[in-house]
Chains A and B, each alone.
Chain A
């Protein structure tokens, strides 16, 4: 096996006329094809993984965590009022020279940052509509309203001024959509009237450059020797696109790939027993929940909400559907998120008490409700249908008749947000590692009222809202932690959701893969990973 990899690598390198003695190759069995290589218009983890090796951002998340560390900016200062961010940029950062239609003539500088931000911000910008005008994350993180100005102070200093203080702003800049592209390349392609080339034949400052992309089959990257952080430990990185989880496992067993994401819960026992394979586990930055429509009967009454929460057997759901890929959730934020309040107590499984509460609330003979389940698999929910069936059975025991309903995925969230449901399942994967991204985005009053928001419980509770809105503007992390912990206590008392589970991120990989760190966002980062042959 090793010899043929060596032989193939030598042949491959002969084909691309690049000298390589013995190339270290790491194969990642990816679960799908990326939409394209411009993360500004992408929304799926699969697409972000595809662009990840190529680009850098002003700041980055540390490998394996949510702390923000320097990226293309070496250091930065934030003004007293929290509105002005000044970034000092790194010097000597080189661009990839592998584009078929362009050769860079200068290093990275402040112009590139201005270009990358303005491209997504200013509608009159020549690149706004290129590839797509749908810059989802830029808009969703509130950038258009937040940004007042982005100025180039000199070639290596950028000043960003906000309209109001926003504590999570730095974390936002570490997200995939904020990838920095080359202005020189963009200008050259605009002149050649082929602007979309910068997204199709991408160059970046990242540790790997794109060698080849065969749709639905394979993506090949090669280590960029002049990377500012030092050349990657592996030479060739290959994404072998394998949509079927059982097939990924079969390939991992045969050493046809070294790292695989999203194993079947059913295969986990066998995976753990394989001596050549190790599994890395971490509770993901996500939550799956059953939301109650708190502005409609019967769930406008907190007693009814609490009754339902006490009637559903959470453990059975996790055992049956999540298997070992989920942990029971009691708070709306996952345990790996800072400010998680572990002292909050979850509702116990107590059907008798549930029935009593229902009677107190005026429903001694039970009630009828709907129960919405999504038709597709989501990272926080492997099989909503099956969970709905189990919940239905549990609720029947306390006299609650739940009718399971479902819609097209594209319709589903929209209708939930319009509040058509009484009970509905949904979930959330964290974008930037900030508790605000869960507590304000999903449970704040702003989001309850907006048509595009994600507060499907329509939860607008003043004490809770005050806490999370204040925490948005304060910059002291200890103070913010205090505020968020209080908010979680209120959340449990009010029970706008029955929190189901946090999906555990499980990553089986061969034992000879060294120093792979799990990203809380589910990203796959291969810089810094080594493979022992």
Chain B
């Protein structure tokens, strides 16, 4: 066939411009009802976090000696003034939950950002340079993975002292190996491919190779794992808070609220149940979002 004929047939094959990748992604994503629901919840959480001071009816930290342990409004003794009841020293639970959204989102995003950033760098270095560097890094990651994650986090917090920042650092360290592994595996696969060899031949240095050529191709699985990582981070930080090692009172972090409330489990169920529901809904939303992202981004599942 002549080149003209080839051109003509290829021209005939196009019905129009192919859809923009973002639009294609969006339509795949929205096909998943769960993922959309998750997205809505997260947007709602972000809004409450941003506008907490405006939305919350009371201050989350001011104590009120008159209203210890009031039940939610639908129970006898409750009032709409404190719609979800009050805790042991008279703080409104609804306001604390709303302000707590701020903390939980902060925890999730900060921990994952830190973990992903550090993990990416370590993974790139390990995957590119191989040899002793690779072995050392991977041994360290293996050790971190072998020790039960909560135990390691508890020891780290015990060293640094209880507090929100230290708890976040501990959880970030515990999550690190996952990202290192993903990035390293992706790097090793990509590095053997032709385009990288071509770039190397063309004279690209290792830094340029790492960040401009290889990294963009690892982004997809990273995004999915990062979103799922947010939910793990929130759960782990809440576990530390529950054990009294995370955010300290009077910070309205949901896990810490559960720790304080454990002694009231038989007498004031709302102090125990409601923060747990908040954690659950948030984590579920992020998991749904992560699943939706994975389904939309992963070409293998596109059949």
Residue numbers of A with Cβ under 8 A of B are 244-246, 249-250, 264-267, 269-270, 313, 316, 319-320, 375, 385-386, 389-390, 393
Contact = CB atoms under 8 A, between A and B. Distances in A.
Interface string B58-101: 00000101001100000000000000000011100000000000
A250 B267 CA distance: 12
Contact of B68 (A244, A264, A269, A320): A320
Enumerate the 5 nearest inter-chain pairs by beta-carbon distance, A residue then B residue, closest first.
Answer: A264-B263, A266-B267, A266-B264, A316-B65, A246-B265
Given A316-B65, A320-B68, A393-B63, A246 B266 contact: yes
A319 B265 CA distance: 19
B200 interface: no
Given A264-B266, A269-B267, A270-B266, 19 more contacts: A244-B262, A246-B262, A246-B263, A250-B266, A264-B267, A265-B263, A266-B88, A266-B267, A267-B266, A267-B267, A270-B267, A316-B65, A320-B68, A385-B248, A386-B89, A386-B249, A389-B63, A389-B249, A390-B63
B263 A266 contact: yes
Nearest to A253: B266
Contacts of B262: 244, 246
A264 B272 CA distance: 15
A325 B267 CA distance: 16
B206 interface: no
A270 B69 CA distance: 15
A166 to B, nearest CB: 42
Interface residues of B, number: 18
A386 B250 CA distance: 9
Contacts of B263: 245-246, 264-267
Contacts of A386: 88-89, 249
Nearest to A244: B262
Contacts of A320: 65, 68, 88-90
Contacts of A313: 65
A266 B266 CA distance: 8
Contacts of B248: 385
B268 interface: yes
A269 B249 CA distance: 26
B235 to A, nearest CB: 22
Contacts of A244: 262
A151 B249 CA distance: 57
Interface of B: 63, 65, 68-69, 88-90, 162, 248-250, 262-268
Nearest to B262: A246
Contacts of B162: 375
Given A320-B65, A389-B89, A249 B250 contact: no
Nearest to A263: B263
A323 to B, nearest CB: 9
Contacts of B268: 266
A524 to B, nearest CB: 22
Nearest to B89: A320
11 contacts: A244-B262, A246-B262, A266-B263, A266-B266, A266-B268, A267-B267, A269-B267, A270-B267, A320-B89, A385-B249, A386-B89
Contacts of A265: 263
A226 to B, nearest CB: 44
Contacts of A264: 263-264, 266-267
A375 B248 CA distance: 11
Contact of A390 (B69, B89, B266, B267): B89
A462 B162 CA distance: 42
Contacts of A269: 267
A74 to B, nearest CB: 47
A385 B89 CA distance: 12
Contacts of B69: 266
B266 A389 contact: no
B71 to A, nearest CB: 13
A319 B69 CA distance: 12
Contacts of B90: 320
Contacts of A267: 263, 266-267
A304 B267 CA distance: 41
Contacts of A319: 65, 68
A245 B266 CA distance: 11
A264 B264 CA distance: 8
A320 B86 CA distance: 13
Nearest to A316: B65
A470 B168 CA distance: 56
Nearest to B62: A393
Contact of B266 (A249, A316, A375): A249
A389 B65 contact: no
Contacts of A249: 266
Contacts of B65: 313, 316, 319-320
A431 B289 CA distance: 60
A285 to B, nearest CB: 24
Nearest to B61: A389
A385 B267 CA distance: 22
B144 to A, nearest CB: 25
A295 B131 CA distance: 63
A459 to B, nearest CB: 31
A105 B268 CA distance: 59
Nearest to B250: A389
A228 B88 CA distance: 50
Contacts of A266: 69, 88, 263-264, 266-268
Nearest to A315: B65
A464 B219 CA distance: 74
A316 B263 CA distance: 20
Counting chain A CB atoms within 10 Å of each CB, which of B65, B248, B264 scores highest?
B65
Contacts of A250: 266
B40 to A, nearest CB: 36
A316 B162 CA distance: 28
Contacts of A393: 63
B88 to A, nearest CB: 7
A147 to B, nearest CB: 40
Nearest to A407: B161
A385 B244 CA distance: 12
Contacts of B264: 264, 266
Nearest to B268: A266
A21 B38 CA distance: 65
A249 B266 CA distance: 9
A407 to B, nearest CB: 9
